[in-house]
């Protein structure tokens, strides 16, 4: 490790819901350090210099791990020996980092075109590319899990993110992989806390999905969508049915959802164009916190239309009610609340509304 004068390195044990501090040591003047710990079963540890600079390690009894890394990028070591599990996770991180870099590039393109008239077309193109990149890392992660089903690294792969709270695998859509890992890991390590935590999560997920055999959102044109009754940011409760008499875009989004945020300028555009002619937007957030939700509304200038949320992330009541597997997701409804379009974005939405309000 390249030396940083007076720097400390910390070792934390990774539990299911917390990091347990284990040890710390000052890096020597030549950049070296050493930890020693006795363990009885394979366990996850974080080697870190700060909250944002760490290496996740899968340590097994008897292993001696040696690594060389730059002090500001522990997660991407120059060399690593002595732990196949840690080496495997480091290799996965390289592919994940490449995906994150590509997605960041799309964000930069969006920022460069935010004030240009061709923005809706740019957003549509960027959205398509983002879905391709997310699909690629999703497929790669599934293969990685299949190739490592007897290793605890498969458990870590279930919870990888391309951005804060933007996960590679969706617990509902990709439930089969959560079940695969649970089945394998619970048979091998039934007493290891992260494994038992996954086991309980999978039981809850499967029970929830079995309980949702009826009442799913219809997708056929002409079908009436289920009622939604949720609070607004101000705390007032409002029903979707209160919008009857208007053509309504029922839009599911979240402030953490990059494709959603990229589509929002298009929603502002169509709302300003058609609202006085009978168009309304009923936007439902899957945010985790009210602050994040309200900040997203303010930053994207969405204050003019209707917003509701129970602020429960993927545990929101609308996820099961509408069988939502990913966002953005939307339904265009006629004046009686019947579906006349599904997942219309960018130019497609503009064209459809132009036909309706011609």
End residue of a domain, out of 210, 238, 259: 210
Domain identity same for 245 and 300: yes
| Structural domain boundaries, residue 252 | 229-356
Give the model's pLDDT for residue 76: 84
Residue 221 lies in a domain: no
Domain identity same for 234 and 277: yes
Residue 220 lies in a domain: no
End residue of a domain, out of 80, 96, 125: 80
Domain identity same for 119 and 143: yes
- Rounded-to-integer distance, Cα 15 and Cα 269, Å: 47
Residue 224 lies in a domain: no
Residue 170 lies in a domain: yes
How far are the Cα atoms of 13, 298, 311, 322 from residue 229, in angstroms, in the given order? Answer: 43, 23, 13, 13
Residue 217 lies in a domain: no
Domain identity same for 55 and 161: no
| Tokens 């503009």 found at | 350
CATH number of the domain where residue 320 is located: 3.40.30.10
Q: Is the pLDDT of residue 263 over 90?
A: yes
pLDDT digits (tens, 9 = 90+) for 41-90: 899 999 999 888 899 899 999 999 999 998 888 888 889 999 999 999 99
End residue of a domain, out of 80, 97, 118: 80
CB atoms within 10 A of CB 337: 20
Please state the domain count of the chain.
3
- Rounded-to-integer distance, Cα 335 and Cα 184, Å: 51
Residue 3 lies in a domain: no
Closest CA to 285 of 319, 262, 259: 319
Answer whether 0.75 is exceeded by the pTM. no
Domain identity same for 101 and 190: yes
pLDDT digits (tens, 9 = 90+) for 146-161: 999 999 999 999 999 9
Domain identity same for 299 and 315: yes
pLDDT digits (tens, 9 = 90+) for 110-126: 888 888 888 888 888 88
């Amino acid at each position: 490790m390249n030396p940083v004068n007076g720097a400390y390195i910390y070792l934390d044990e990774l539990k299911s819901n917390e990091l347990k501090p284990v040890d710390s040591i000052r890096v020597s003047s030549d950049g070296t350090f050493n930890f020693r710990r006795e363990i009885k079963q394979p366990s996850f540890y974080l080697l870190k210099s700060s909250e944002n600079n760490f290496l996740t390690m899968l340590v097994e009894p008897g292993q001696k791990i040696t690594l060389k890394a730059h002090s500001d990028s522990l997660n991407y070591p120059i060399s690593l020996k002595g732990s196949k599990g840690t080496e495997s996770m480091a290799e996965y991180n390289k592919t994940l980092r490449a995906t994150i870099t590509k997605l960041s590039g799309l964000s930069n393109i969006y920022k460069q075109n935010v004030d240009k008239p061709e923005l809706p077309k740019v957003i549509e193109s960027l959205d398509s590319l983002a879905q391709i990149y997310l699909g690629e890392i999703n497929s790669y992660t599934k293969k990685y899990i299949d190739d490592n089903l007897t290793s605890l690294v498969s458990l870590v792969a279930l919870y990888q993110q391309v951005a804060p709270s933007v996960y590679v695998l969706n617990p509902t859509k990709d439930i089969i992989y959560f079940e695969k890992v649970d089945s394998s890991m619970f048979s091998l390590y039934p007493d290891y806390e992260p494994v038992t935590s996954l086991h309980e999560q999978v039981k809850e997920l499967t029970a929830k999905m079995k309980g949702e055999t009826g009442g799913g959102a219809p997708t056929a044109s002409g079908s009436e969508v289920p009622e939604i009754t949720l609070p607004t940011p101000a705390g007032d409760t409002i029903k979707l049915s209160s919008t009857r008499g208007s053509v309504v875009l029922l839009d599911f989004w979240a402030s953490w959802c990059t494709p959603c945020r990229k589509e929002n300028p298009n929603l502002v555009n169509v709302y300003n164009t058609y609202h006085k002619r009978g168009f309304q937007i009923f936007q439902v957030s899957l945010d985790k916190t009210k602050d994040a939700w309200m900040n997203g509304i303010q930053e994207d200038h969405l204050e003019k239309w209707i917003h509701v949320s129970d602020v429960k992330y993927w545990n929101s009541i609308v996820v099961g009610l509408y069988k939502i597997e990913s966002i953005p997701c939307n339904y265009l409804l006629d004046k009686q609340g019947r579906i006349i379009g599904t997942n219309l974005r960018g130019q497609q939405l503009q064209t459809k509304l132009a036909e309706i309000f011609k």
